[in-house]
Structure 1
Amino acid sequence: MDWISYSKPLMEGAWVTVQLTIYSTILGAIASFVFGIGKLSHNWIAKGLSIAFIEVFRGTSLLVQLFWLYFALPVLGQQIGVDLRLPPVVAGTLALGLNIGAYGAEVVRGAIQAVPPSQHEAAKALDFTPRQVLWRISLPQAIPEMMPSFGNLAIQNLKDTALVSLISLGDLAFRAEQIRNFTQDSVTIYTMLLFMYFGMALVLTAFMKLLERSVGRWRAGRA
């Protein structure tokens, strides 16, 4: 068996990795804005929940979060009489998305707080409501500042998908380990794995750069 024969199962695993990366990155982006804005809320319940979410998911291991969702949650469900078993792809998406969302929430919070105070003072002089200030003043200026950090988080998320192989989800890392166990050809398998992750990271980086430029043009158009 040579590298050509390895390609088909590895490509099948790569497709699972791509899907998992897309799903979890979208979930992470949503969580970033929900909890990042929530942390700045004047509502103490929303602020408290947001802080708790951020600290829990930033302060614990992604691997532990993944195992808790896949192995511990069903046991908890049995104890309370509810079926809480999650398919591997759902558990993986949730763990990755919520983890990256906790880090992204701090990016959102920091970017919004970096908007010059004079902008808020001008909005108050125009009798804007807090919601109008957020949507018309803060976010349009903050989003372009978030994009480089979001790009780094997306790349990190792609690399973190390798952990889902530990819950038997047939991603790229899982397929590679299966082939390696069968052939004992570690050099070829892990070299191919390295280049495949690198190639996917390059594509994702290029996409994030395009998105960053598009957001920059959108901001310039609003100016």
Structure 2
Amino acid sequence: MTWMQYLAPLLKGAQITVIISLASIVLGTILAFAAGIARTSSNPIVSGIAFVYIVLFRGTPLLVQLFWFYYALPLIGISFNPITTGIMTLSLLTGAFGAEVVRGALLAVPVSQYEAARALNFSKTYTLWHIFMPQAVVEMMPAFGNLAVQNLKDTALVSLISIADLTFQAQSLRNITLDSATVYTLTLVGYFIIALGLMLIVRLIEMKLRRGAAFSRSAHS
């Protein structure tokens, strides 16, 4: 086989990688905001549940989490197909790391703004979503960009639960052809191109949010 013949299976695997990465980034972001906001809650039960979730997934290896969901969970009658398992596990991990980004950004908003909102008799919900969150989201974007790229790199582990992603296809090709140098070079290039795409998307979102925040400040000045 020539390197051109390697492209078809690698591109097929790359499609699976992109699907898993994008799906888990979106779901992980939702979890990150939910858990991050919960961590700032004055309710000790809500904050405690979020804390346990964050510590559990930040403190255990992704590989073990994948194996637990794929091999151990079915023993109690709950099972998912490999792709669902991969997306779910990556989402939970991304959400745990993202939650601390959200919490930190919210806590970084000056306390004086909360006091001003309370003086104006704004509700906590209104203050969170209309005063704190617009400022905090802009500051979260660089960290979320790093999380998105890390999520992409972590998808390589889903090949170990029989998902035919880019890494799985590369390993299969290598076993057939024994052409390690070419196969893994093309695989590296593939991951690099996908990562560039992710970084570009995050950068465009960040620029749009910053323009929106600047326009909002000028409108209220």
Q: Deviation digits for residues 148-197 of structure 1, max 9, x if unmatched?
A: 00000000000100000000101000000011111111011001001111
Q: Deviations over 1:65-103 (max 9, x none)?
A: 1111111100122xxxxxx11101100001111101100
Aligned equivalent of 1:25: 25
Alignment: residue pair count: 217
Unaligned runs of 5+ in 1: 78-83
What is the correspondence of 1:80-159 to structure 2 with a 5 Å cutoff? 84-159=78-153
1:197: which partner in 2? 191
- The separation in 2 between residues aligned to 1:128 and 1:7, in whole angstroms, is 57
1:217 is aligned, of 205, 211, 218, to 211
**Deviation, structure 1 residue 203:** 1.1
Shift in Å at residue 52 of structure 1? 0.5
Runs of 4+ with deviation above 6 angstroms: none
Q: TM-score, normalised by structure 1?
A: 0.96
Q: Over the residues paired in the alignment, what is the CA RMSD in angstroms?
A: 0.7
Counterpart check, 1:175 vs 2:163 = no
TM-score by length of 2: 0.97
| Unpaired segments ≥5 residues, structure 2 | none
CA distance in 1, matches of 2:57, 2:209: 28
CA distance in 1: counterparts of 2:172 and 2:120, whole angstroms: 63
CA distance in 1 between counterparts of 2:211 and 2:36 reads: 24
Q: Which amino acid in the other structure matches residue 73 of structure 1?
A: L
Give the whole-Å Cα distance in 1 for the aligned partners of 2:23 and 2:197.
16
Residue in structure 2 matched with residue 160 of structure 1 by the alignment:
154
**Offset, 1:125:** 0.8
Q: Equivalent residue for 1:16?
A: 16
Distance 1:206 1:33 in 2: 22
Identity score, percent: 52
